[in-house]
């Protein structure tokens, strides 16, 4: 059976070429020269940093782990892939390319990375998309071209959406294993390893460092330490995991939060989960993404009033006095794709015009109107962050806060629930929830296979 990704890719590369044709024509270039990127050495060391491929390169080809490659594209011609494959016995050279995408390229094997320029355009105006050291000829990252491409990156092809869908399944496997490890009493480090193993990923393959936060550590938005400490049962309260996976260079970005007990923190998680689902339900073409962000603030405000963290104010008052920003100090989401925080979130058009963030919301990364084929996260949170709470305590809003109740919840750190959403013509598809359902179904089926069926049991009993 041929994988449907192959036929989707043929349409994808057609769209990519067509976008570049228009972008190059409009910005006055004859050729595009796109570097995959090179390895960077650490200071005074012979080690290199992990390789991060140029996202504009991996938009063309699912080659994410081989440095020193290039794409040379001239509209109307088959794109050239200059593919680094040295003779080397220190490191393993990349395998010769095979698979669903290779027919779309004229592939030139490059044994010596210093000779790549032999394949570059000889004449005409070249747009060079690279981190350049100045040795390669061409206009470096022309702003007009980048603006054009970043604007269009927001509209994912069906191939890209399928890759993100599969990245979601991969990370759902990791999330299920991680929850199990937490409930088993494992340390953050052990949970992190359980995640990677189940998501079939190395630390370098995941699209961003795993956030594996037990208890109060969940109040650090990007907590990337992995403590080796196993806590005794009475000291374990909560678990927040924000972890993704990659598929052909496309990312998923998922967060779940758990309580150790069936307590009020669990009720707060349930309330946040309901509110996250109501935000997702509002996603459809034509809605302004910042309105979803503001809706999240209003709903967090309702929750902090309902749970008694705030007194003598209604939800509108909580938002107006900016108290909701103490509990939800980040944007409600961002574009997702080749990068976990994908580009183009502020673009008003292809020509570099941007849409400002709402006043007082400096961390929102997406201000565009929602349109079909966009993919973004919806990730409201509610945290108990000591530094923000201590500012609140010094402010005139301190009188509205039930400090005893806040203090009782600091040990849980906070809650974030994050799903990945693809916008359809009339609504949306949640890429994350069905991925969890699929993984849970598979786990159930595997457990049933391991259990002997009653009739077999009977037979073996008679033996
Ligand atoms: N994992 C980073 C974020 O959710 O934006
Ligand atoms: Mn995110
Ligand atoms: Mn995340």
| pLDDT tens profile 37-62 | 999 999 999 999 999 999 999 999 99
Res 463 pLDDT > 90: no
Q: What is the CATH number of domain 158-448?
A: 3.90.230.10
Give the pLDDT score at 53. Answer: 98
pLDDT average, residue stretch 83-110:
97
Structural contact between residues 251 and 337, judged by C-beta atoms closer than 8 angstroms: yes
Confidence of residue 1 (pLDDT cuts 50, 70, 90): low
| pLDDT tens profile 434-462 | 999 999 999 999 989 988 766 655 444 44
What percent of the chain clears pLDDT 90, i.e. is strictly above it?
A: 95
pLDDT average, residue stretch 345-364:
97
| pLDDT tens profile 374-403 | 999 999 999 999 999 999 999 999 999 999
What residues have a C-beta under 5 A from ligand 3, the ion? 242, 253, 255, 418
- The contacts of residue 66 (CB under 8 Å, 6+ apart) are 36, 83, 84, 94
Res 262 pLDDT > 60: yes
Cβ–ligand 1 contact at 253 (below 6 Å): yes
Give the pLDDT score at 460. Answer: 45
Structural contact between residues 297 and 279, judged by C-beta atoms closer than 8 angstroms: no
Distance 356 CA to ligand 2 centre (A): 20
| Every domain of the chain and the residues it spans | 2-152, 158-448
Structural contact between residues 265 and 252, judged by C-beta atoms closer than 8 angstroms: no
pLDDT average, residue stretch 245-255:
99
Distance 243 CA to ligand 3 centre (A): 6
| pLDDT tens profile 102-150 | 999 999 999 999 999 999 999 999 999 999 878 999 999 999 999 999 9
Q: Which of 82-91, 127-136, 352-361 has the lowest mean pLDDT?
A: 127-136
pTM (predicted TM-score): 0.96
SS3 per-residue string spanning the chain: CCCHHHHHHHHHHHHHHHHHHHHHHHHCCCEEEEECCCCCECCCCCCECCCCCCHHHHCCCCCCCCCCCEEEECCCCCCEEEEECCCCCCCCCCCCCCCCCHHHCEEEEECCHHHHHHHCCCCCCEEEECCCCCCCCCEECCHHHHHHHHHHHCCCCHHHHHHHHHHHHHHHHHHHHHHHHHHCCCCHHHHHHHHHHHCCCCCCCCCCCCEEEEHHHHHCCCCCCCCCCCCCHHHCCEEEEEECCEECCEECCEEEEEECCCCHHHHHHHHHHHHHHHHHHCCCCCCEHHHHHHHHHHHHHHHHHHCCCECCCCHHHHHHCCCHHHHCCCCCCCECCCCCCCCCCCECCCCCCECCCCCCCCCCCCCCECCCCCEEEECCEEECCHHHHHHHHHCHHHHHECHHHHHHHHHHCEEECEEEEEECCCCEEECCHHHHHHHHHHHHHHHHHHCCCHHHHHHHHHC
To test the pocket of ligand 1, the residue of 341, 365, 375 to mutate (highest count of ligand atoms within 8 Å of its CB) is 341
Quote the CA–CA distance of 257 and 179 in Å, as a whole number.
9
Quote the CA–CA distance of 334 and 253 in Å, as a whole number.
10
Taking the mean position of all CA atoms in its chain, how far away is CA 163? 12
Cβ–ligand 1 contact at 342 (below 6 Å): no
Compute the mean pLDDT over every residue in the chain, rounded to the nearest whole number.
96
To test the pocket of ligand 1, the residue of 244, 253, 293, 383 to mutate (highest count of ligand atoms within 8 Å of its CB) is 253
Structural contact between residues 226 and 194, judged by C-beta atoms closer than 8 angstroms: no
Give the pLDDT score at 462. Answer: 42
Distance 415 CA to ligand 2 centre (A): 13
Distance 398 CA to ligand 1 centre (A): 30
Cβ–ligand 1 contact at 418 (below 6 Å): yes
Give the pLDDT score at 3. Answer: 87
The yes-or-no answer to whether 2-152 and 158-448 have a common fold is: no
Distance 325 CA to ligand 1 centre (A): 18
Give the pLDDT score at 363. Answer: 96
Quote the CA–CA distance of 294 and 9 in Å, as a whole number.
37
What percent of the chain clears pLDDT 70, i.e. is strictly above it?
A: 97
Give the pLDDT score at 132. Answer: 80
Burial class from Cβ neighbours inside 10 Å (0-12, 13-18, 19+) for residue 396 reads exposed
Q: Inter-axis angle of helices 4-27 and 143-153, to 10 degrees?
A: 150
Q: What is the CA radius of gyration of the chain?
A: 25
Structural contact between residues 179 and 222, judged by C-beta atoms closer than 8 angstroms: no
* Nearest bound ligand to the CA of residue 208: 1
Nearest ligand 1 atom, CA 418: 4
Give the pLDDT score at 405. Answer: 98
Q: Judging by DSSP bridges, how do beta strands 80-84 and 254-259 pair with one another?
A: unpaired
| pLDDT tens profile 170-219 | 999 999 999 999 999 999 999 999 999 999 999 999 999 999 999 999 99
Give the pLDDT score at 461. Answer: 41
Instruction: Given CATH 1.10.10.10, say whether it is the number of domain 2-152.
Output: no
Give the pLDDT score at 121. Answer: 97
Structural contact between residues 255 and 379, judged by C-beta atoms closer than 8 angstroms: yes
CA distances from 31 to 23, 351, 353 (A): 11, 20, 25
Distance 376 CA to ligand 2 centre (A): 8
Q: Which of 22-36, 226-240, 360-374, 446-460 has the lowest mean pLDDT?
A: 446-460
- The contacts of residue 235 (CB under 8 Å, 6+ apart) are 215
Token couple for 282: 């509002």
Give the sign of the dihedral formed by CA 262, CA 266, CA 267, CA 271.
negative
Res 15 pLDDT > 70: yes
């Amino acid at each position: 059976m041929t994988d449907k990704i192959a036929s989707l890719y043929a349409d994808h590369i057609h769209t990519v070429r067509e976008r570049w044709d228009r972008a190059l024509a409009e910005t006055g270039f004859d050729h595009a020269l796109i570097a995959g990127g090179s390895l960077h050495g650490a200071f005074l060391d012979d080690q290199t940093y992990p390789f991060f491929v140029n996202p504009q390169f991996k938009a063309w080809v699912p080659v994410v782990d081989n440095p020193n490659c290039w794409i040379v594209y001239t509209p109307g011609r088959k794109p050239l892939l200059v593919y680094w494959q040295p003779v080397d016995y220190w490191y393993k050279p990349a395998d010769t390319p095979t698979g669903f995408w290779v027919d779309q390229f004229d592939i030139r094997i490059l044994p010596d990375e210093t000779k790549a320029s032999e394949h570059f355009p000889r004449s005409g105006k070249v747009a060079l998309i690279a981190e350049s050291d100045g040795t390669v000829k061409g206009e470096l990252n022309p702003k007009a071209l980048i603006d054009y491409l970043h604007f269009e990156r927001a509209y994912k092809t069906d191939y890209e959406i399928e890759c993100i869908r599969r990245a979601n399944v991969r990370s759902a496997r990791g999330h299920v294993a991680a929850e199990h490890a937490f409930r088993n009493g494992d340390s953050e480090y052990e949970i992190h390893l359980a995640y990677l193993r189940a998501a079939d990923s190395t630390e370098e393959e995941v699209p961003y460092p795993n956030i594996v936060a037990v208890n109060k550590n969940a109040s650090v938005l990007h907590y990337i330490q992995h403590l080796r400490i196993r806590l005794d049962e009475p000291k374990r309260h909560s678990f927040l995991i924000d972890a993704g996976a990659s598929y052909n260079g496309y990312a998923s970005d998922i967060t779940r939060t758990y309580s150790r007990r069936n307590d009020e923190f669990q009720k707060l998680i349930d309330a946040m989960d309901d509110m996250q689902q109501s935000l997702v339900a509002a996603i459809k073409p034509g809605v302004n993404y910042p309105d979803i962000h503001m809706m999240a603030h209003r709903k967090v405000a309702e929750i902090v009033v309902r749970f008694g963290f705030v007194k003598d104010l209604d939800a509108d008052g909580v938002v107006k006095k900016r108290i909701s920003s103490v509990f939800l100090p980040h944007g409600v989401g961002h574009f997702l794709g080749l990068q976990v925080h994908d580009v183009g979130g502020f673009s008003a058009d292809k020509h570099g015009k941007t849409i400002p963030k709402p006043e007082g919301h400096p961390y929102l990364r997406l201000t565009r109107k929602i349109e079909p084929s966009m993919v973004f996260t919806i990730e409201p949170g509610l945290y108990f962050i000591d530094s923000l709470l201590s500012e609140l305590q010094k402010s005139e809003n301190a009188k509205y806060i039930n400090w005893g109740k806040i203090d009782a919840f600091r040990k849980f750190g906070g809650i974030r629930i994050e799903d990945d959403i693809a916008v359809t013509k009339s609504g949306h598809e949640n890429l994350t929830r069905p991925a969890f359902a699929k993984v849970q179904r598979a786990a159930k089926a595997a457990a049933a296979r391991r259990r002997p069926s009653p009739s077999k049991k009977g037979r073996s009993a008679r033996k």
